[in-house]
Structure 1
Amino acid sequence: MTVMDDLLERGAVPEGYKVEIFDGEVIMTPRSPEQFWTVSEVQAAARAVGISRERVLGDVLVRFPGENDAAPDLAIVADAAGRHKNSYDCIDVLLVVEVVSRADDDKDYVRNVAKYGRFGIECYVIADPFKRTCTVMSESHATGYSKVREVAYGETVTLSLTTGERVIVDTSEFPVRSAEE
């Protein structure tokens, strides 16, 4: 049993909070309205192109062998992804979207880039309501991603999955936030 399993089993996670163990640190943050609304927009875009509800996950535990597990803001898994109680294996994850929760946090831009790339998650998107940009990464490798592009909020971004599926996301409805909030 992992530390995260123990926390979840004991109901130690307060409602409305997201808890992750990352590099040995327990990170507990309330989910912001911006995170919820952004994830909802991407989820709707995925469903609009025919990706089933069962493949689109939010704040669901993803197992990373030999490392701390994670619960991405949104993940899309393969058709044949195996569910293990309330978690999935990282090998089945095709796309991850993380929404930055603090303007000064490097978790999404540094630590997650290295981890998701190292474990072969082929498409990683960082939606940043503070910078008003989406950073789209593809072609994972041992230390991150070979292709990185920034798309300003307001533009349409196409997210290509290794299955050939393409999720077209209109970012004009993505909420923004100032660093002082």
Structure 2
Amino acid sequence: MDDLVRGVIPEGYQIELFEGTVIMTPQGPEQSRTVFRLSSAAEAAELPAERVLSDVLIKFPGENDAAPDLTILAEGATRAGNSYFSHDVLAVVEVPSEPDDDKDYVRNVRKYGRYGIRTYLVADPFKGVCTLMTEPYATGYGKVQEVPYGETVTLYLDSGEVVPIDTSTFPVHQG
């Protein structure tokens, strides 16, 4: 705790403020490799690298900010220091760091839906399943599709861009 007060984050940990709670989570190897593969899929779909971010702060006016595992921004997104605004986000991908993560499956569903994030994907290394959510509304998403690892999940962005993601190489947590 003394290290945290001095601003030192222990190696392998991520610290995030979420709804007034400080969350400190280690990023596991499955999470790291999955985010890398997601970034590679965005690159293969020819999305400009400056629009694909990992662990960069997104500002949600009137609510706690977030640093999603992967964010795809709209063209011309407004940078604010080292962060961006939620209204410029086309898609968010989260990779849970623990089984049945309430943050990714409940709180983020409500938050991202409320702020109109059109595409929200949870790539879950514990379940070996991607959950794709679209059609946001005030408390969540109107359409939810589960895609098992090994199949392709496709992100259709409001920009007209399409990002096919081959999940066959996504790592599964081995306990």
For normalisation by structure 2, the TM-score amounts to 0.93
CA shift digits 1:23-77 (9 cap, x unpaired): 2110011111111111111111111111011000000000011111100000000
Residue identity in the other structure for 2:69: D
> Counterpart of 2:22 in 1: which secondary structure?
strand
Alignment match, 1:152: 148
- Residue 98 (1) aligns with residue 70 (2): no
Total equivalences in the alignment: 171
Cα RMSD over matched residues?
Answer: 1.4
Match of 1:26 among 18, 22, 26: 22
- 1:138/1:41 Cα in 2 relative to 1: closer, same or farther (>3 Å)? same
Alignment match, 1:84: 80
Alpha-carbon separation, structure 2, partners of 1:170 and 1:87: 29
Match of 1:112 among 83, 108, 119: 108
Alpha-carbon separation, structure 2, partners of 1:122 and 1:169: 17
Residue identity in the other structure for 1:27: I
Residue identity in the other structure for 1:145: Y
Alignment of 1:27-42 (within 5 A): 27-42=23-38
> Counterpart of 1:41 in 2: which secondary structure?
helix
For normalisation by structure 1, the TM-score amounts to 0.90
Identity of matched residues, %: 63
Residue identity in the other structure for 1:98: E
Deviation at 1:155, TM superposition (A): 0.2
Match of 2:53 among 42, 51, 57: 57
Residue identity in the other structure for 1:177: H
Which stretches in structure 1 are left out of the alignment for 5+ residues?
A: 1-6
Alpha-carbon separation, structure 1, partners of 2:93 and 2:100: 18
CA shift digits 1:92-132 (9 cap, x unpaired): 01000000110142110000000000001000000111111
Deviation at 1:11, TM superposition (A): 4.4
- Residue 170 (1) aligns with residue 162 (2): no
- Residue 137 (1) aligns with residue 133 (2): yes
Alpha-carbon separation, structure 2, partners of 1:88 and 1:15: 26
Moved >3 Å (runs of 4+): 10-16
